[in-house]
Amino acid sequence: MILILLFVVVFQIQAEQSYSQSTKISLDMKNTTIEKVLQTIEEKSDFYFLYNSRLVNVDRKVSVRVKNASIAAVLERLFKSQDISYEVKGTQIILSPAEMHEEILAARTDAQQPPAYKSVTGKITDERGEPVIGANIIEKGTTNGTVSDTDGDFSLQVLPDAVLHISYIGYLPQETATAGKTRFQIILQEDTKALQEVVVVGYGVQKKVNLTGAVQMVDGEILNDRPLVNAAKGLQGAIPNLNISFKTGDPTSETKFNIRGATSLNGGSALVLVDGVETDLNLINPQDIESVSVLKDAASAAVYGPRGSFGVILVTTKRGKLNQKLQINYNNNFSWSSPSRLPKGMQADRWLEAINQANINNGGGAYFSQEQIDAVKKHIADPQNNPSAFLDTTGKFTKAGQWGYAGNTDWFKEFYDDAAFMQQHNASLTGGSEKSTYYGSIGYKGQDGLFRYGKDTYKRFNIAFNFSTQITDWLQFSFNTKLNNSDKNVPSNNFGMGSPYYEVYRMFPHIPIYLPNGKDFAGLQGDNFNYNIAGRMALAGRTTTADKDFWYTGGFTLTPVKGLSIKGDYTQNYWFRTHREHKKTIYQIEPRPEAAPTAVGTPNGVWQYRTSDEYRAMNLWGEYDFSLAENHHFKLMTGYNDERKDYNRLEIESQGLVSNDLPNGGLAERFINVKEPGDAWAVKGIFYRINYDYLSKYLLEINGRYDGSSKYPKGKQWGFFPSVSAGWRISEESFYEPIRPAVEYLKMRVSYGDLGNQVVDNNFQYLGMLSSGTYNYVINSTILKGINPSTLASTNITWERVNTINAGFDFAALNNRLSGAFDYYVRRTKDMVISKAYPAVLGSTGGKENLADMRTNGWELMLTWNDKIVDLGGSPLTYGVGLGISDAFSEITRYNNPTRSLADHYEGKRLGEIWGYVTDGFIADEAEAQKMVDIQGRFSKTWLPGDIRYKNLDDDPKITDGVNTVDNPGDRKIIGNSTPRYRYSINLNTGWKGFDLRAIFEGVGKRDIWLSDNLFWGYSGIWWASITDYHVDRSWSKENIHAYYPVPTFSNRSRQIQTKYLQNGAYLRLRDVTLSYTLPATVSKKMDLSQIRLFASGQNLWEATKMFKYIDPDITGKDKNNGEPELSDAGRVYPFSRTFSFGLSVTF
């Protein structure tokens, strides 16, 4: 469907252009008469010639060889040395002797104004000063024109105030006014949108046409004019196989960057570098980003060594340009977010009855008394006269003398605010003098969370400053700094609650928020989890997290001789976090006025930690650029890289606050705990890269890196990782000529190489170590501290090797309007460090060795179509469509699991496999249920009609797990796979008259998901229930035997992993739609501003998925490092949101 849509768009809209300009003629004729040439042109085109053969000599022999030339260029070449003039009128061409032409013109001008033609000459070159041959030069508004010759020179007769329009394929068209000038030096700029794009690669840049690895770049534009909470959100769907996921919907949620699917069983994600330094992208103001490059294969990432083994994301921030006027920009954004797929609360009486029914099915009695249910019904019917909280004198509600509750609360409505508000303000200043450039920005973000009670807030303030200056002609110096401050403030959690986001699902709806007095909270204290989460959060102490992050980079560039540059930089980063959790005691007002309030959450206290991490990185590299025999281009690069990181943290827990309101660790009765965790690692490497190209046609790149890591024992620390890649621009070959009109550009690429991966779960596992511990044990009224016994030293571990083979091609077609790239790759992660399966008598886990291999196969395709309709209502309409599709799956090819136990990975396992039972329908009646006691006794000794019947897949009449191995899995088999397959994204954009509209769709084509959570099953015991109308209406009963869910009980017996409840995790989501409007220049000029833009945007506004109604498909995007999905906390986290926003951007 989507593809069809795309092609319709492509072919429907064909630009209408002046025939003489748009028609391109190719001729290759030798020693032929002009007459023959003219006939050939007539045959090949709609042109026809009018001339007097007596005046115009058409018998002269000529040789002509033109390629895709305009008619003007052909005629110019034919008649250049002749005194023959020509005139093109539509498809008609009139040839006449030069004098006669003058006469005609004279006659014509005689009739009107006196003609004042002047002769203009010029030279057309590209940015490097190379002449551009065959560029079209047209006098604007006329058909008068010419083409540049082999030296790039041209001359033309034009009216005195004429404007010249100069155009050439692959370059941006230019217009020059001729008034007062006759000699022109025209420099055509390469059209970066097309093929001359420069791409940021490791330690340098590379022209896109010369790339041999799998590299893709996106412009910062997609990040700059959107109301983004963080840059990562803006990159979702931008590049195929760059898979960005968030753990939760929290604006500060951890972001995971994955390139090309599963990495290593030990984890490993893409390396994110901002201006060459590893940085948390969440801390970067999206407005500061100039471009983002993604290096996907081994060859491209080679120079980054150990931490780039699963791809690198290079983010370049904005900086000023030399001789650029000071430019100041201010932009802001206001947004409102609300949870995307939230359930609706159940009416309280229906909920109580549903719980009672389930408890009865479960073999118990009615859990809630009839009095309770009746009171709720009465309250719902007449809330005025039946208060939701009252003194329980009978003990039928809670306990005699305590509060009885009979309210009707929709907890989801109460817990979540209607919308979370966020505002952002950014200001930047950029420019440059002759020698220096500068860019400075300042940003503020204030975000309110979703809690209605105990509002959570997040604030961020950041400053960035980039400066560079040319000190002498051989030395350039630069200094970059970034400062980030962020503060998070949420209600703390010290009432034995889980995550409040989960607690809300299991609130009892008959508990009201407030007591009848309307100001004190009800249910702060509650038996068996039936309490009031809203009240607890409103009164709770606060958890505050303050982060301060400082980055400083100083660098230099030396250019001692032409072609050679030596660069160096040194970065230091300090990251500080102060986290303080105030465990406050809160008080429940009792129904009897004489009773003292009951304290909840005792003892009070404060838990805090301070973290100060330090990261240092040094890079030193040189690049030498030279040519041999003119067409052999070389670029040599070599360098040294050294990085280290130290983690430090101090943790203190105190109890018994002197003042319940002042969470100070010292103002407390006692210290409970002091901890001082710390860690460190370092890597070093030397690297090289050799680029060779012949005529930009045959491309070769050789990389290598010799790496050391502190994570391995001496003797195993160093490894050498080479790679090679090659490219062939087929479109430069002469045999390609016939295809060129259709497909202008085609390049094949292959690469092969190894990278080292040093991601292991512990930085010092080659040592046997004793660590400190605080135990859940008391001796002498003191919490017991101690020393944990020594870990097992893994003295034999060394680098994992990530080997990638990649083949792909890039192309551009249809006048560069359609471009794209395709890559196929096989990534083998070899020698992964895993625990060897030792008998338990070893008495220790660990004992790791390089024992496992994994293979990931995948491909990715990116297509973009960019074009414009020249005239739509008087203005051009530009539009573009981008499509990205990618796929990856992984298989374990070597693993130490001799028993092939399903509790672990095994050889031949496809990552993400889901083993489960096959559902065989519902148990029909009592008799069958009785039989199941034996057959399905493994899960329960009680079975009811409406419970699940599992299919027997083996010889054993009972349903079993066998011995839980691949070869004897009992009645289970692989019923699905949770690996997301066929991830795709569609980017649509169009611009017209200052309006720009962009939409980004993103989705997953195929995926299975098993939801084990209470949220999905609803009935999970009285205190863990998450039931909604959805569950009640869809549960089996004697009246509803074709239901979706089994008969409501609190047992897991019918909830084993099985086919029926396997979710289809495929989805399509409208990730972003943004409409912006740039005010006409005339309007902004009046206000003395250079540009004003307004924009409105929506994020995650719509999705199509068959997933369970109340779980957001995004939550499934979270993968554990090793490629296995982690869905267990589904619904217990900050929900994903839909967001509306608007803002403006002003440039001075």
Contact set for other proteins, span 459-498 (CB under 8 A):
472, 474-475, 496
904 Cβ contact list (under 8 Å, min separation 6): 837, 895, 897
> Whole-number minimum distance, CB 660 to other proteins, in Å?
16
Helix (H/G/I), strand (E/B), else coil: 537: helix
| DSSP character string of 1013-1044 | SHHHH--S-TTT----HHHHHTB-BTTBTT-S
Tokens matching residue 711: 């994570």
- Contacting other proteins (CB under 8 A), which of 560, 563, 908, 921? 560
Backbone angles phi, psi at 406, to 5 degrees: -150, 60
Interface residues for other proteins in 576-605 (CB under 8 A)?
Answer: 600, 603
List 64, 198, 792, 1101, residue binding other proteins (CB under 8 A): 792
Residues 1102-1141 touching other proteins, rule: CB under 8 A, are none
Instruction: For other proteins, give the closer residue by CB, 117 or 556.
Output: 556
Task: State the angle between helix axes of 71-79 and 34-44 in degrees (0 to 180), rounded to the nearest 10.
Answer: 170
Residues 609-638 that bind other proteins (CB under 8 A): 620
Does residue 330 interact with other proteins by CB under 8 A?
A: no
SS3 494: coil
Minimum CB–partner distance for residue 237 and other proteins (Å): 39
- Alpha carbon distance 901, 367 (integer Å): 42
- Which range binds other proteins by CB under 8 A, 446-454, 727-735, 750-758, 773-781? 773-781
d(CA 1115, CA 234) in angstroms, rounded, equals 17
Residue 768 or 876 having the CB closest to other proteins: 768
Which position among 105, 837, 869, 1101 is part of the footprint of other proteins (CB under 8 A)?
837
- How many CB atoms are closer than 10 A to CB 1113? 26
What radius of gyration do the chain's Cα atoms show? Answer: 36
- Residues 1005-1024 within binding reach of other proteins (CB under 8 A): 1023
Smaller CB separation from other proteins, 837 or 1094: 837
DSSP label at residue 1128: T
From 278-286, 322-330, 476-484, 677-685, span contacting other proteins (CB under 8 A): 677-685
Q: Does 847 bind other proteins (CB under 8 A)?
A: yes
Q: Which of 325, 841, 955, 1039 binds other proteins (CB under 8 A)?
A: 841
* Region from 211-219, 681-689, 1004-1012, 1109-1117 binding other proteins, contact rule CB under 8 A: 681-689
Instruction: Tell me which residue has tokens 């465990």.
Output: 583
Q: How far, in Å, are 230, 271, 807, 866 from residue 989 at the CA level? A: 21, 30, 30, 9
Which member of 10, 391, 483, 783 binds other proteins (CB under 8 A)?
783
With left for phi above 0 and alpha for psi between -120 and 50, is residue 42 left, alpha or beta?
alpha
* 817-836 binders of other proteins (CB under 8 A): 836
Residue-level length of the chain: 1148
3-state per-residue secondary structure call for 246-269: ECCCCCCCCEEEEECCCCCCCCCC
Residue 267 binding other proteins, by CB under 8 A: no
Give the nearest distance from C-beta 309 to other proteins in angstroms.
19
Q: Which is nearer to other proteins, 259 or 832 (CB)?
A: 832
C-alpha pair distances (Å), 46 with each of 91, 771, 1062 = 6, 87, 64
d(CA 909, CA 902): 10
Q: Which stretch binds other proteins (CB under 8 A): 73-81, 166-174, 772-780, 850-858?
A: 772-780
For residue 398, state whether it binds other proteins (rule: CB under 8 A): yes
Per-position x/- string for 46-75, each x denoting binding to other proteins as judged by CB under 8 A, each - no binding: ------------------------------
In the window 194-233, what residues touch other proteins (CB under 8 A)? none
Tokens read off for 57: 């000599």
Q: Is 167 in the site for other proteins (CB under 8 A)?
A: no
Closer residue to other proteins in complex, CB, 362/466: 362
- Judged by CB under 8 A, the chain residues 880 through 939 that form the site for other proteins are 898-899, 901, 903, 930, 933-934, 937
For 130-149, b where at least 16 C-beta lie within 10 A, e where not — what string? Answer: eebebbbbbbeeebbbbbbb
Q: Which is nearer to other proteins, 48 or 1023 (CB)?
A: 1023
- 769 is a site residue for other proteins (CB under 8 A): yes
**Residues numbered 945-964 forming contacts with other proteins, rule: CB under 8 A:** 963-964
Kindly identify the residues of this chain, within the stretch 1020-1059, that bind other proteins according to CB under 8 A.
Answer: 1023
DSSP state letter for 842 = G
| Shortest CB 597 distance to other proteins, Å | 14
Site for other proteins in 354-373 (CB under 8 A): 359, 362-367, 369
Q: Which of 106, 177, 662, 784 binds other proteins (CB under 8 A)?
A: 784
Rounded CA separation 403/517 (Å): 13
- Residue closest to 225 by CA, chosen among 829, 1024, 1097: 1097
Contact of 1031 with 1140, CB cutoff 8 Å:
no
Tell me the closest approach of the beta carbon of residue 899 to other proteins, in angstroms: 4
22 binds other proteins (CB under 8 A): no
What is the per-residue binding string for other proteins in 631-670, x denoting contact by CB under 8 A? Answer: ---------x-x-x---x------x--------------x
Taken in order 283, 286, 289, 293, is the CA torsion positive or negative?
Answer: positive
Considering only 182, 370, 627, 772, the residue that binds other proteins (CB under 8 A) is 772
Q: Which is nearer to other proteins, 683 or 1015 (CB)?
A: 683
What are the distances in angstroms from CA 1135 to CA 244, 425, 978, 1114, 1115? 17, 25, 21, 10, 9
Q: How far is the CB of 203 from other proteins (least distance, A)?
A: 15
What are the beta bridge partners of residue 303?
Answer: none
Give the whole-angstrom CA distance, residue 1097 versus residue 287.
16
Cβ nearer to other proteins, comparing 156 with 600: 600
Q: Quick one: 900 or 1007, whose CB is closer to other proteins?
A: 900
Nearer to other proteins, 767 or 924 (CB): 767
Number of residues that bind other proteins (CB under 8 A): 97
**Exactly one of 942, 990, 1037, 1090 binds other proteins (CB under 8 A); which one?**
942
Question: Smallest distance from the beta carbon of 556 to other proteins, in angstroms?
Answer: 8
Is 787 among the residues that bind other proteins (CB under 8 A)?
A: yes
Q: Considering the rule CB under 8 A, would residue 568 count as an interface residue with other proteins?
A: yes
Q: Please report, in angstroms and rounded to a whole number, the separation of the first and last CA atoms in the chain.
A: 45
Element (H, E) at 378: helix 370-381
Kindly report the backbone phi and psi dihedral angles of residue 732, in degrees, each rounded to the nearest multiple of 5, phi listed first. Answer: -90, -10
Q: How far is the CB of 246 from other proteins (least distance, A)?
A: 30
Residue 446 or 768: which CB sits closer to other proteins? Answer: 768
- Under the binding rule (CB under 8 A), the answer on residue 875 touching other proteins is no
Q: Which stretch binds other proteins (CB under 8 A): 13-21, 521-529, 539-547, 1133-1141?
A: 521-529
Three-state SS for 529?
A: helix
- The correct pick among 562, 776, 874, 1039 for binding other proteins (CB under 8 A) is 776
Q: Where are the beta strands (DSSP E) in 221-361?
A: 242-246, 255-259, 271-274, 277-278, 289-295, 312-317, 327-339
DSSP 627-684: EETTTEEEEEEEEEEEEEEEEEEEEEEEEEESSTT---SSSEEEEEEEE--EEEEEEE
Burial class (CB in 10 A: 0-12, 13-18, 19+), 937: middle
At closest approach, how far in Å is the CB of 626 from other proteins?
19
Query: Which residue, among 77, 92, 40, 82, has the nearest Cα to 60 in the 3D structure?
Result: 82
Interface characters, 690-729, with other proteins (x: CB under 8 A): ------------------xxx------x------------
